[in-house]
Protein backbone atom coordinates (compact mmCIF):
# COMPACT_ATOMS: atom_id res chain seq x y z
CA UNK A 1 0.00 0.00 0.00
CA UNK A 2 2.76 2.45 0.96
CA UNK A 3 4.80 1.63 -2.15
CA UNK A 4 2.18 0.71 -4.70
CA UNK A 5 0.31 2.81 -7.27
CA UNK A 6 -1.69 5.62 -5.72
CA UNK A 7 0.32 5.51 -2.51
CA UNK A 8 0.08 8.54 -0.21
CA UNK A 9 2.72 11.24 0.08
CA UNK A 10 5.80 11.04 2.27
CA UNK A 11 4.12 12.81 5.21
CA UNK A 12 1.35 10.24 5.41
CA UNK A 13 3.79 7.40 4.71
CA UNK A 14 5.75 8.33 7.83
CA UNK A 15 2.58 8.60 9.92
CA UNK A 16 1.31 5.28 8.64
CA UNK A 17 4.60 3.49 9.37
CA UNK A 18 4.71 4.81 12.94
CA UNK A 19 1.07 3.90 13.51
CA UNK A 20 1.51 0.44 11.98
CA UNK A 21 4.46 -0.23 14.27
CA UNK A 22 2.58 0.88 17.40
CA UNK A 23 -0.50 -1.17 16.53
CA UNK A 24 1.55 -4.24 15.65
CA UNK A 25 3.66 -4.07 18.81
CA UNK A 26 0.62 -3.59 21.06
CA UNK A 27 -1.49 -6.34 19.50
CA UNK A 28 1.14 -8.88 18.35
CA UNK A 29 -0.63 -8.73 14.98
CA UNK A 30 0.61 -7.72 11.56
CA UNK A 31 -1.11 -5.88 8.72
CA UNK A 32 -3.22 -8.26 6.65
CA UNK A 33 -1.01 -7.40 3.70
CA UNK A 34 1.89 -9.27 5.32
CA UNK A 35 0.00 -12.45 6.21
CA UNK A 36 0.16 -15.12 3.50
CA UNK A 37 -2.62 -17.65 3.95
CA UNK A 38 -2.08 -20.20 1.20
CA UNK A 39 1.64 -20.93 1.53
CA UNK A 40 2.19 -24.55 2.53
CA UNK A 41 5.16 -26.86 2.83
CA UNK A 42 5.31 -30.26 1.19
CA UNK A 43 4.11 -33.14 3.36
CA UNK A 44 7.70 -34.22 3.89
CA UNK A 45 9.70 -31.01 3.59
CA UNK A 46 13.47 -31.08 3.54
CA UNK A 47 15.30 -27.96 4.68
CA UNK A 48 17.80 -26.71 2.13
CA UNK A 49 19.72 -24.85 4.82
CA UNK A 50 19.72 -24.29 8.57
CA UNK A 51 20.90 -21.09 10.17
CA UNK A 52 21.33 -19.98 13.75
CA UNK A 53 17.63 -19.39 14.35
CA UNK A 54 15.72 -20.81 11.39
CA UNK A 55 15.39 -23.59 8.84
CA UNK A 56 15.21 -22.59 5.17
CA UNK A 57 12.82 -24.17 2.67
CA UNK A 58 12.13 -23.63 -1.03
CA UNK A 59 8.47 -23.62 -2.09
CA UNK A 60 6.38 -22.50 -5.08
CA UNK A 61 3.61 -19.93 -4.66
CA UNK A 62 2.15 -17.00 -6.59
CA UNK A 63 3.91 -17.90 -9.83
CA UNK A 64 7.43 -18.06 -8.42
CA UNK A 65 9.74 -19.92 -6.05
CA UNK A 66 9.93 -18.56 -2.53
CA UNK A 67 12.41 -18.75 0.31
CA UNK A 68 10.68 -19.72 3.56
CA UNK A 69 12.63 -19.10 6.76
CA UNK A 70 10.86 -21.11 9.45
CA UNK A 71 11.85 -19.72 12.85
CA UNK A 72 12.64 -22.14 15.63
CA UNK A 73 10.60 -20.47 18.36
CA UNK A 74 10.15 -21.94 21.80
CA UNK A 75 6.60 -22.64 22.99
CA UNK A 76 4.75 -19.44 23.79
CA UNK A 77 7.30 -17.26 22.03
CA UNK A 78 5.27 -16.31 18.97
CA UNK A 79 3.48 -13.27 20.39
CA UNK A 80 6.69 -12.06 22.01
CA UNK A 81 8.46 -12.32 18.67
CA UNK A 82 5.77 -10.36 16.85
CA UNK A 83 5.83 -7.60 19.43
CA UNK A 84 9.60 -7.34 19.60
CA UNK A 85 10.32 -7.51 15.89
CA UNK A 86 7.25 -5.80 14.47
CA UNK A 87 9.28 -2.69 13.66
CA UNK A 88 11.90 -4.66 11.73
CA UNK A 89 9.39 -6.62 9.67
CA UNK A 90 7.32 -3.53 8.88
CA UNK A 91 10.40 -1.57 7.82
CA UNK A 92 11.67 -4.48 5.72
CA UNK A 93 8.27 -4.71 4.08
CA UNK A 94 8.46 -1.07 3.00
CA UNK A 95 11.94 -1.15 1.46
CA UNK A 96 12.27 -0.99 -2.31
CA UNK A 97 15.78 -1.18 -3.76
CA UNK A 98 17.48 -3.47 -6.31
CA UNK A 99 20.22 -4.33 -3.80
CA UNK A 100 17.84 -5.24 -0.98
CA UNK A 101 16.17 -8.65 -0.80
CA UNK A 102 12.40 -8.04 -0.99
CA UNK A 103 10.27 -9.07 1.98
CA UNK A 104 6.99 -10.67 0.89
CA UNK A 105 5.39 -11.35 4.25
CA UNK A 106 4.77 -13.75 7.11
CA UNK A 107 2.93 -17.05 7.14
CA UNK A 108 2.09 -19.53 9.87
CA UNK A 109 2.76 -23.22 9.35
CA UNK A 110 1.36 -26.12 11.33
CA UNK A 111 -1.90 -26.59 13.21
CA UNK A 112 -3.44 -24.56 16.02
CA UNK A 113 -1.57 -26.54 18.68
CA UNK A 114 1.84 -25.62 17.28
CA UNK A 115 2.13 -22.80 14.77
CA UNK A 116 5.52 -21.81 13.41
CA UNK A 117 6.39 -18.33 12.18
CA UNK A 118 7.77 -18.18 8.66
CA UNK A 119 9.40 -15.17 6.96
CA UNK A 120 8.88 -15.19 3.19
CA UNK A 121 11.06 -13.67 0.46
CA UNK A 122 11.87 -14.54 -3.18
CA UNK A 123 14.17 -17.48 -3.78
CA UNK A 124 17.64 -16.61 -5.08
CA UNK A 125 18.97 -19.46 -7.21
CA UNK A 126 22.58 -18.24 -7.00
CA UNK A 127 22.64 -18.53 -3.22
CA UNK A 128 24.82 -16.30 -1.08
CA UNK A 129 27.77 -14.33 -2.36
CA UNK A 130 30.35 -16.68 -0.81
CA UNK A 131 29.13 -19.81 -2.58
CA UNK A 132 28.45 -17.81 -5.75
CA UNK A 133 32.04 -16.58 -5.99
CA UNK A 134 33.41 -20.04 -5.24
CA UNK A 135 31.42 -21.36 -8.22
CA UNK A 136 32.17 -18.34 -10.46
CA UNK A 137 35.77 -17.45 -9.72
CA UNK A 138 36.20 -15.25 -12.81
CA UNK A 139 33.22 -12.99 -12.07
CA UNK A 140 34.22 -9.30 -11.68
CA UNK A 141 34.07 -8.52 -7.99
CA UNK A 142 34.04 -4.74 -7.86
CA UNK A 143 30.42 -4.50 -9.12
CA UNK A 144 29.39 -6.75 -6.23
CA UNK A 145 31.23 -4.47 -3.80
CA UNK A 146 29.32 -1.54 -5.28
CA UNK A 147 26.04 -3.42 -4.92
CA UNK A 148 26.68 -4.05 -1.23
CA UNK A 149 27.65 -0.41 -0.65
CA UNK A 150 24.54 0.86 -2.44
CA UNK A 151 22.23 -1.49 -0.57
CA UNK A 152 23.67 -0.48 2.80
CA UNK A 153 23.62 3.22 1.89
CA UNK A 154 19.91 2.85 1.09
CA UNK A 155 19.21 1.25 4.47
CA UNK A 156 21.17 3.92 6.32
CA UNK A 157 19.32 6.65 4.41
CA UNK A 158 16.15 5.17 5.95
CA UNK A 159 17.82 5.07 9.40
CA UNK A 160 17.87 1.27 9.29
CA UNK A 161 20.90 -0.53 10.72
CA UNK A 162 21.60 -3.91 9.16
CA UNK A 163 23.34 -5.37 12.19
CA UNK A 164 24.62 -8.65 10.74
CA UNK A 165 26.53 -7.92 7.55
CA UNK A 166 28.56 -10.87 6.28
CA UNK A 167 28.91 -12.79 3.05
CA UNK A 168 26.41 -15.44 4.12
CA UNK A 169 23.72 -12.74 4.47
CA UNK A 170 24.26 -11.30 0.99
CA UNK A 171 22.43 -13.10 -1.80
CA UNK A 172 23.01 -12.98 -5.55
CA UNK A 173 20.05 -12.60 -7.88
CA UNK A 174 19.57 -14.14 -11.32
CA UNK A 175 21.31 -11.15 -12.93
CA UNK A 176 24.42 -11.76 -10.83
CA UNK A 177 23.92 -8.73 -8.58
CA UNK A 178 24.14 -8.64 -4.80
CA UNK A 179 21.14 -8.16 -2.48
CA UNK A 180 21.40 -7.58 1.27
CA UNK A 181 19.27 -9.95 3.35
CA UNK A 182 18.32 -10.48 6.99
CA UNK A 183 18.79 -6.87 8.10
CA UNK A 184 17.19 -5.87 11.38
CA UNK A 185 16.84 -9.51 12.46
CA UNK A 186 20.31 -10.15 13.84
CA UNK A 187 19.30 -9.84 17.49
CA UNK A 188 16.94 -12.78 17.02
CA UNK A 189 19.96 -15.05 17.35
CA UNK A 190 20.70 -13.80 20.86
CA UNK A 191 17.14 -14.20 22.16
CA UNK A 192 16.41 -17.09 24.52
CA UNK A 193 12.94 -17.63 23.07
CA UNK A 194 14.56 -19.11 19.97
CA UNK A 195 16.08 -22.53 19.59
CA UNK A 196 19.50 -21.65 18.26
CA UNK A 197 22.30 -23.84 16.98
CA UNK A 198 24.66 -20.89 16.72
CA UNK A 199 27.45 -20.59 19.25
CA UNK A 200 29.62 -18.01 17.53
CA UNK A 201 27.56 -14.86 17.87
CA UNK A 202 28.13 -11.82 20.00
CA UNK A 203 25.53 -10.74 22.57
CA UNK A 204 23.86 -8.42 20.08
CA UNK A 205 23.56 -11.14 17.47
CA UNK A 206 26.41 -10.15 15.15
CA UNK A 207 29.19 -12.59 14.28
CA UNK A 208 32.62 -11.91 15.77
CA UNK A 209 34.60 -12.00 12.51
CA UNK A 210 32.52 -9.08 11.21
CA UNK A 211 31.91 -7.35 14.56
CA UNK A 212 33.24 -3.85 15.28
CA UNK A 213 35.47 -3.51 18.39
CA UNK A 214 32.89 -1.45 20.30
CA UNK A 215 30.41 -4.33 20.10
CA UNK A 216 32.82 -6.48 22.08
CA UNK A 217 34.22 -3.81 24.39
CA UNK A 218 30.98 -2.25 25.66
CA UNK A 219 28.90 -3.75 28.47
CA UNK A 220 25.65 -2.96 26.64
CA UNK A 221 26.64 -2.90 22.96
CA UNK A 222 24.38 -1.17 20.47
CA UNK A 223 24.35 -1.81 16.74
CA UNK A 224 24.95 1.43 14.83
CA UNK A 225 25.60 2.67 11.32
CA UNK A 226 29.28 2.90 12.27
CA UNK A 227 29.38 -0.76 13.32
CA UNK A 228 27.77 -1.57 9.96
CA UNK A 229 30.61 0.30 8.23
CA UNK A 230 33.24 -1.82 10.03
CA UNK A 231 31.34 -4.92 8.91
CA UNK A 232 31.04 -3.72 5.32
CA UNK A 233 34.82 -3.32 5.22
CA UNK A 234 35.04 -6.97 6.26
CA UNK A 235 32.55 -7.90 3.54
CA UNK A 236 34.54 -5.99 0.91
CA UNK A 237 37.65 -7.91 2.00
CA UNK A 238 35.68 -11.16 1.86
CA UNK A 239 34.40 -10.47 -1.66
CA UNK A 240 37.66 -9.16 -3.10
CA UNK A 241 40.02 -11.77 -1.63
CA UNK A 242 37.83 -14.83 -1.08
CA UNK A 243 39.11 -14.96 2.50
CA UNK A 244 37.30 -14.61 5.80
CA UNK A 245 38.13 -11.58 7.92
CA UNK A 246 40.52 -12.58 10.71
CA UNK A 247 41.46 -15.61 8.64
CA UNK A 248 44.70 -15.68 10.66
CA UNK A 249 42.69 -16.52 13.80
CA UNK A 250 41.66 -20.09 14.54
CA UNK A 251 38.78 -19.28 16.85
CA UNK A 252 36.62 -16.68 18.57
CA UNK A 253 38.92 -16.26 21.56
CA UNK A 254 41.75 -14.98 19.36
CA UNK A 255 39.39 -12.70 17.44
CA UNK A 256 37.93 -11.23 20.64
CA UNK A 257 41.41 -10.49 22.02
CA UNK A 258 42.26 -8.59 18.84
CA UNK A 259 38.97 -6.69 18.84
CA UNK A 260 39.46 -5.71 22.49
CA UNK A 261 42.72 -4.07 21.38
CA UNK A 262 41.01 -2.42 18.39
CA UNK A 263 43.10 -4.50 15.99
CA UNK A 264 41.56 -4.95 12.51
CA UNK A 265 41.79 -8.15 10.46
CA UNK A 266 45.30 -8.89 9.21
CA UNK A 267 45.87 -8.67 5.46
CA UNK A 268 48.61 -10.39 3.51
CA UNK A 269 49.89 -8.52 0.49
CA UNK A 270 49.54 -11.58 -1.72
CA UNK A 271 46.91 -13.08 -4.00
CA UNK A 272 43.87 -10.98 -4.89
CA UNK A 273 44.67 -8.40 -2.19
CA UNK A 274 48.00 -7.61 -3.87
CA UNK A 275 46.15 -6.94 -7.12
CA UNK A 276 43.78 -4.38 -5.59
CA UNK A 277 44.33 -0.71 -6.30
CA UNK A 278 45.58 1.39 -3.40
CA UNK A 279 42.39 3.42 -3.13
CA UNK A 280 40.34 0.29 -2.42
CA UNK A 281 42.84 -0.93 0.18
CA UNK A 282 42.76 2.46 1.91
CA UNK A 283 38.96 2.52 1.88
CA UNK A 284 38.77 -0.89 3.56
CA UNK A 285 41.29 0.16 6.22
CA UNK A 286 39.30 3.35 6.87
CA UNK A 287 36.21 1.21 7.47
CA UNK A 288 38.31 -0.60 10.11
CA UNK A 289 39.18 2.57 12.04
CA UNK A 290 38.91 1.82 15.76
CA UNK A 291 37.06 5.07 16.56
CA UNK A 292 33.50 4.69 15.19
CA UNK A 293 33.26 8.44 14.63
CA UNK A 294 36.28 8.39 12.31
CA UNK A 295 34.88 5.77 9.94
CA UNK A 296 33.44 6.91 6.61
CA UNK A 297 29.70 7.03 6.16
CA UNK A 298 28.02 4.77 3.64
CA UNK A 299 27.26 7.79 1.51
CA UNK A 300 30.97 8.62 1.41
CA UNK A 301 31.83 5.01 0.58
CA UNK A 302 29.39 4.98 -2.34
CA UNK A 303 30.80 8.26 -3.62
CA UNK A 304 34.39 7.02 -3.40
CA UNK A 305 33.51 3.82 -5.22
CA UNK A 306 31.67 5.77 -7.89
CA UNK A 307 28.95 3.20 -7.29
CA UNK A 308 25.46 3.27 -8.70
CA UNK A 309 24.44 -0.24 -7.75
CA UNK A 310 22.49 -1.99 -10.46
CA UNK A 311 23.08 0.59 -13.18
CA UNK A 312 21.47 0.98 -16.58
CA UNK A 313 24.86 0.46 -18.25
CA UNK A 314 24.78 -3.25 -17.48
CA UNK A 315 21.10 -3.77 -18.14
CA UNK A 316 20.17 -2.69 -14.64
CA UNK A 317 16.91 -1.10 -15.71
CA UNK A 318 15.77 -4.42 -17.15
CA UNK A 319 16.71 -6.12 -13.87
CA UNK A 320 14.73 -3.57 -11.87
CA UNK A 321 11.72 -3.97 -14.15
CA UNK A 322 11.82 -7.77 -14.01
CA UNK A 323 12.00 -7.94 -10.23
CA UNK A 324 9.33 -5.26 -9.93
CA UNK A 325 7.04 -7.36 -12.14
CA UNK A 326 7.71 -10.47 -10.05
CA UNK A 327 6.94 -8.62 -6.85
CA UNK A 328 3.78 -7.10 -8.30
CA UNK A 329 2.64 -10.52 -9.55
CA UNK A 330 3.13 -11.91 -6.07
CA UNK A 331 1.17 -9.03 -4.52
CA UNK A 332 -1.63 -9.59 -7.03
CA UNK A 333 -1.76 -13.25 -6.02
CA UNK A 334 -2.03 -12.23 -2.37
CA UNK A 335 -4.79 -9.74 -3.07
CA UNK A 336 -6.89 -12.44 -4.71
CA UNK A 337 -7.03 -14.13 -1.32
CA UNK A 338 -8.13 -11.01 0.53
CA UNK A 339 -11.51 -9.30 0.58
CA UNK A 340 -10.14 -6.23 2.37
CA UNK A 341 -10.65 -2.95 0.50
CA UNK A 342 -8.39 -0.05 1.44
CA UNK A 343 -9.73 3.50 1.33
CA UNK A 344 -6.77 5.87 1.40
CA UNK A 345 -8.91 8.90 2.22
CA UNK A 346 -10.23 7.16 5.31
CA UNK A 347 -6.72 6.10 6.31
CA UNK A 348 -5.46 9.67 6.00
CA UNK A 349 -8.40 10.96 8.05
CA UNK A 350 -7.80 8.44 10.84
CA UNK A 351 -4.06 9.14 10.92
CA UNK A 352 -4.69 12.88 11.11
CA UNK A 353 -7.01 12.35 14.05
CA UNK A 354 -4.48 10.10 15.78
CA UNK A 355 -1.69 12.64 15.31
CA UNK A 356 -3.94 15.42 16.65
CA UNK A 357 -4.76 13.43 19.78
CA UNK A 358 -1.17 12.36 20.47
CA UNK A 359 0.51 15.69 19.66
How far are the Cα atoms of 30, 117, 167 from residue 328, in angstroms, in the given order?
A: 20, 24, 28
Report the alpha-carbon distance of residue 288 to residue 243 in Å, rounded.
Answer: 16
Report the alpha-carbon distance of residue 202 to residue 52 in Å, rounded.
Answer: 12
Check if the beta carbon of residue 107 is closer than 8 Å to that of residue 35.
yes
pLDDT single digits (tens) 153-180: 999 988 888 988 999 999 999 999 999 9
pLDDT above 50: residue 196: no
- At residue 11's C-alpha, the angle toward residues 5 and 15, to 5°, is 95
Count CA atoms within 13 Å of residue 198 on its CB side: 25
Q: Which range, of 187-191, 233-237, 352-356, averages the lowest pLDDT?
A: 187-191
Where is mean pLDDT largest: 34-38, 232-236, 241-245, 341-345? 232-236
May I ask the CATH architecture of the domain 126-310?
Orthogonal Bundle (1.10)
pLDDT single digits (tens) 204-216: 445 899 999 999 9
pLDDT single digits (tens) 293-320: 999 999 999 999 986 555 444 445 566 6
pTM over 0.85: no
pLDDT above 50: residue 191: no
Report the alpha-carbon distance of residue 221 to residue 204 in Å, rounded.
Answer: 7
Alpha helices per DSSP H over the chain:
10-27, 78-84, 86-93, 129-135, 142-157, 213-217, 225-241, 252-260, 271-275, 278-287, 298-305, 316-336, 344-358
Q: What pLDDT shows up at residue 35?
A: 75
Q: What pLDDT shows up at residue 44?
A: 57
Check if the beta carbon of residue 124 is closer than 8 Å to that of residue 67.
yes
Q: Name the residue with higher pLDDT: 246 or 51.
A: 246
The 3-state DSSP class for residue 238 equals helix
Q: What pLDDT shows up at residue 109?
A: 74
Predicted confidence band of residue 144 (pLDDT cuts 50, 70, 90): very high
The domain spans of the chain are 1-123+314-349, 126-310
The 3-state DSSP class for residue 65 equals strand
pLDDT above 50: residue 198: no
pLDDT single digits (tens) 42-90: 655 667 777 666 788 888 877 788 888 887 765 556 666 666 666 667 7
175 phi/psi in degrees, rounded to 5: -90, 5
Superfamily in which the 1-123+314-349 domain is placed by CATH? Phosphorylase Kinase; domain 1 (3.30.200.20)
DSSP H or E stretch at residue 168: none
What mean pLDDT value characterizes the chain?
Answer: 77
Predicted confidence band of residue 132 (pLDDT cuts 50, 70, 90): very high
Cβ partners under 8 Å of residue 84, min gap 6: 191
Amino acid sequence: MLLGPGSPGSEYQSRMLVTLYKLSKASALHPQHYVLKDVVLDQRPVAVDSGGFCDVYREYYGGQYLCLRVLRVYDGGRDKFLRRYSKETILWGQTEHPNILPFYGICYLGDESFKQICLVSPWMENGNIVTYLMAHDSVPRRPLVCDVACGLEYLHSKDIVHGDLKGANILVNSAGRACLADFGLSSIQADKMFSSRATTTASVGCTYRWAAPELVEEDTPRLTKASDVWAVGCVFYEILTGLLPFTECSGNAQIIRKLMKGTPPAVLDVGRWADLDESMKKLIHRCWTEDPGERPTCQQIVQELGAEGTSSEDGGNDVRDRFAREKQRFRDAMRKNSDIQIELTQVEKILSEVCTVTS
